[in-house]
Structure 1
Amino acid sequence: MATVSATARRPGPGGPGRYAVLLAYLVLAAVMLLPFLIVLGNAVKTPAEYSQNGPLALPEGIYLDGLRDFWERVDYGDKLLNSLLISGSVAVLAVVLSVLNAYALGIGRVKGRLWVLVLFLMANTLPQEALVYPLYFLAKQTGLYDTRISVIIVFTVVQTAFGTYLLSSVLSGFPREILEAARIDGANRWQVLWRVVVPVSRPTLSVLLVFFFIWTWNEFLIPLVFLVSNDNQTVSVALGVLQGQRLMDATMTSASAVLGVLPTVAFFLIFQRTLTRGVTVGAIK
């Protein structure tokens, strides 16, 4: 009777450790959200209210002139479409090319696989400052300078290098039994890729798609150099150019920050379940 079972000794799901972890997560979430909330509050203040009460005071009302003025001054609608077009195109193309490259390197086992992966890894370590002039020269020579297609090509190659390196390590451990079963059923290499490998790897590909979109959206240096026309500029470039001209007050600056980060936050929230599922599946594997 004195013996206590292991189940009885095991702490319940509502133990103090669980509440400590939950409290730590809440504190971390508050620390991460606080700057965004401060910027959002300043975006709906009047310039006089901001000067009188400071940036940490709560807004006395909803003042949307700063948001409207910034929208009209930079033609935000066109800049948003440019960013969506570039980021979306890069994300899709980079994922497709990464799958094709990784299928050849991870499953096909081409000769010199290790050196090819080292080359892709080195491409990710090069700073963009070292690539700007050669890429600028090539864009000038090919007639692609100041076009959105030039930025799409550059970032597709950059993101594909990372995606190939990551997917190659994932596909190298792909179950050979599944591949052999597909070949026995008469599937050729393309059918094995699109009907077997891609469906099984879909969670990982979804994670790459989300990250490629967000990474490309936040890029600034190369779009700043390549997109000099106002009609081709992205949201990040428009924000930097307008702030560099010192044409905005504090409330308009906050409004620009809100409009700049809001699309990526919305995109992340929309695909949050996909991202979580992909990370969870990768951890289980």
Structure 2
Amino acid sequence: MATTTETLDAPTTTARPAAPGKVRGHRTRRSAGDWVILALAVLFGLVIAVPFLMILVNSFKSPADYNASGPLSLPTSLYTDGLVAFWERVNFPEKLWNSFFISGMVAVLAVALSVLNAFALGIGRVKGRTWIVVLILLANMLPQEVLLYPLYFMFKEVGLYDNVWSVIIIFTVIQSAFGTYLLASVFGTFPKELLEAASLDGASRRTILWRVVYPISRPTLAVLLIFFFIWTWNEFLIPLTFLVSNATQTVPVAITVLQGDRLMDVTTTSASALLGLIPTLIFFLIFQRTLTRGITAGAVK
């Protein structure tokens, strides 16, 4: 009995299985396929980085050094005359401000217009919404060459030719067409219970848009804002057609026009490409975390 009593009085402990992720010394082993995918990703990244590295190397190389050693060798000395020459020839701060102003205005206006259109199509449930979305998508697929003459004639008539606002209006409509198509699909998946609860609480459609829909879709809107800015910055054909004076030109147009009017050496051309690339690279690095969060939030939802 004593033995039995001692056995009953002794504390009992139950062994718990350790969590798989907390096992000491446990390491996830990569398979051969994982290493192949990793090697291909690294190789693909290097291929993408090669043009940028060549531009960077040749921007600080003198013409004599380039002619003697070619484009693949490192510069023997730091040569900055190409950067200075391009900066002074095109009045680069003016072109930089034009590109920043046009891209920023287009990004903000296109996102705002996309939100309003998508709210009417995705949540307002207007009649014929499917056909409207299809029409917007088809209009967005038209090549820019088809739009040049009618847009040129229209802005000539209203007095906005060779004005930055002509390009802002054009790209706001073009970018908002894509944004409307994307956001209409996103807004169409909003839970009806949430919207109905807001309506029962006395919220108007404007209140529902700014107090319910906008906070939830903010990550997606941030991604659209970044994409619209970068896409507009890199546009060339329409700014080349509608911004003919030197004071209204953007960075891509200034680079091309200078190469056509005045013969530049390869190093100065590389310097111009580097100066045109740096602003978008800085913008992307600043908003990289916002872009990653927006894409991740959309994937989780």
Query: Who is 1:113 aligned against?
Result: 129
Shift of 1:24: 2.7
Taking the aligned partners of 2:185 and 2:248, their CA distance within structure 1 comes to 37
Aligned to 2:94: 78
- Assess, with a 3 A threshold, how the Cα gap between structure 1 residues 82 and 59 changes in structure 2: closer, same or farther: same
1:233 equivalent in alignment to 2:257: no
Identify which of 10, 18, 21 aligns with 2:37: 21
Which residue in the other structure is 2:171 paired with?
A: 155
Find the counterpart in structure 2 of residue 33 from structure 1: 49
Partners of 1:21 and 1:273 lie apart in 2 by: 25
Once the two structures are TM-superposed, the CA of residue 133 in structure 1 deviates from its matched residue by 0.5
Report SS of the residue matched to 2:127.
Answer: coil
Amino acid at match of 1:272: Q
Deviation string, structure 1 residues 178-235 (Cα, Å, up to 9, x no partner): 1112222221111110111011001111110011001100111110010011000000
- For 1:81-96, what aligned pairs fall within 5 Å after superposition? 81-96=97-112
In percent, how many aligned pairs have the same letter? 64
| Matched residue type, 2:270 | S
Q: CA deviation at 1:85?
A: 0.1
Moved more, 185-194 or 73-82: 185-194
Q: Does 1:182 align with 2:198?
A: yes
Match of 1:59 among 75, 85, 102: 75
Q: 1:23 offset after TM fit, Å?
A: 2.9
> Can you list the C-alpha shifts for 1:241-265, whole angstroms capped at 9, x where unaligned?
1112242100000001101111111
SS of equivalent residue, structure 1 residue 178:
helix
Q: Which residue number in structure 1 is paired with residue 240 of structure 2?
A: 224
SS in 1 for 2:126: coil
- State the partner residue of 2:274: 258
Q: Give TM-score scaled by structure 1 length.
A: 0.94
Q: Secondary structure at the match of 1:63?
A: coil
SS in structure 1 at match of 2:280: helix
d(CA) in 1 for partners of 2:193 and 2:34? 41
Encode CA deviations 1:4-58: one digit per residue, 9 max, x unaligned: xxx69xx943423544433332222211111101110000000100010000001
Instruction: Say how many residue pairs are matched.
Output: 279
User: Which has the larger Rg?
Assistant: 2
Q: Residue in 1 aligned with 2:287?
A: 271
Q: 1: distance between equivalents of 2:116 and 2:210?
A: 10
What letter matches 2:245 in structure 1? S
Give me the whole-angstrom Cα distance separating, in 1, the residues matched to 2:36 and 2:288. 25
1:165 to 181, 188, 191: 181
Between 172-181 and 65-74, report the one with greater CA deviation: 172-181
Report matched runs for 1:198-209 at 5 Å.
Answer: 198-209=214-225
5+ long unaligned stretches in structure 1: 1-6
One-letter code of the match for 2:197?
A
1:98 aligned to 2:114? yes
List gaps (5 residues or longer) in structure 2.
1-19
Which amino acid is the alignment partner of residue 180 of structure 2? T
| Partner Cα separation in structure 1 for residue 169 and residue 156 of structure 2 | 14
Structure 1 residue 137 corresponds to structure 2 residue 130: no
> Deviating runs (4+, > 4 A) in structure 1?
none
1:281 matched residue in structure 2: 297
Q: State TM-score, norm by structure 2.
A: 0.89
Amino acid at match of 1:74: V
Secondary structure of the residue aligned to 1:109 is coil
